[in-house]
Structure 1
Amino acid sequence: MSIICKKLLLVLLITWTSMGLVQNAIAYEVVSGNCSDANECVVFLKNPVPTQDKLCNSSDFSVTWTPGDGKYLIQCRSSGSDEDNVVWIVDSNARIFARLNYGRFIKKSVLEKTPNMEIPDKFRSRSLCSPIDMSMLRAGDFVLLDKRPADEGENPYCYAPVYLMLKGGKLVVSINGGSARRSDPDHAVHSVSARDKQLLNRLLDVLRQWHP
């Protein structure tokens, strides 16, 4: 191999390596965040620029977790409706990854303090579809509010509480009255692709270094 070819190959190798290092260095940016007195943290995120590194195409991208327990809820809220939201649940200690295609999170401590609260919505506040099950709320890791049709004429929607618990190596989804059935299409738990797992792990690395 000629000297010129060797130099050209070296330049190409350096370029490819540099591109790989840059891509691996791309990180999610925490725009704002805080932790409550109940040790529930919430941060809002900015996506990395390259499309291939995006988990969420919405500007409303956030995470809630309790520091130290390794369990995270990552939320990508749709600009259209809550029914189009995407939620990832991760237990980094048990290596559990799950995806839900509905709901929006709310801090457990908020519902504990105000179980009959009105839920802010686009055009007006909505009521809960049913009372909060306090035992399920306290036992669970996270709670989602799932926007559902209601029978009330003036307020055609309400929010149903959905309790999420990570235990026994899986995600358990419960609603008022008990665990949701696996065959229930409204509360289906979906698998997470290898690509998204990689992006989620990259995001978790950022969160572990974040301090309020």
Structure 2
Amino acid sequence: IDASLKTGRVELVEGDIRDRQLVTDCLKGIDYCFHLAALRITHCAAEPRHALEVMYDGTFNVLEACVENQIKKLVFASSASVYGQAEDFPTTEKHHPYGNYTLYGAAKMANELMLRSFNQMYGLNYNALRYFNIYGPRMDTHGKYTEVLIRWYRLIAEGKQPLIYGDGKQTMDFIYIEEIARATVLALKSQTCNEVFNIAGGKETSLEELCVALLKAMNSDLKPQY
């Protein structure tokens, strides 16, 4: 961030998307908006009321501010969590959202529907990107609400066995952060609007495979605990 700020082309504003006026002011004179603000899936589960305020009301503030400031296009960070326990593989954008049982996934689905409504009512153009499991530099390894990969990392670093729930055969699709950034910029530049896209690596990795790979990368002799 420091390097970008030194160019003079970036202004950093510390705030909260629940602050309607601040969000509106930040979008004045702006052509395009990337909406990436959200709570983690684990944070939503731990504090559902807080999740409601951020994920629902906060997103509404962003969409409302986009309309008020005549934003040309909004790119929204949705999530593969809308699918929950998917039934079809590979999973296309047409897959139903009824396998989801998380508040986070429900919020992302609701946000997508908000976008459709704002497009219909006000002509707000958007693209929604359903990110799959992201990894890469600057992942939060010390936060309270981390996901499985980071929880394993911390356990291994402490010399403790990583815990796998079930048989470890469950699969996930991982994608590197640079590919996420590239897809997000392309979603803005593209002439295509008002669509939803899966952003994934296209390869299934089981939890067991992931755990073994992490142990190897960390030069650990520990074994997974099931």
Give the structure-2-normalised TM-score: 0.24
The structure richer in strand per residue is 1
Q: Which has the bigger relative contact order, CA under 8 A and spacing at least 6?
A: 2
Give the structure-1-normalised TM-score: 0.25
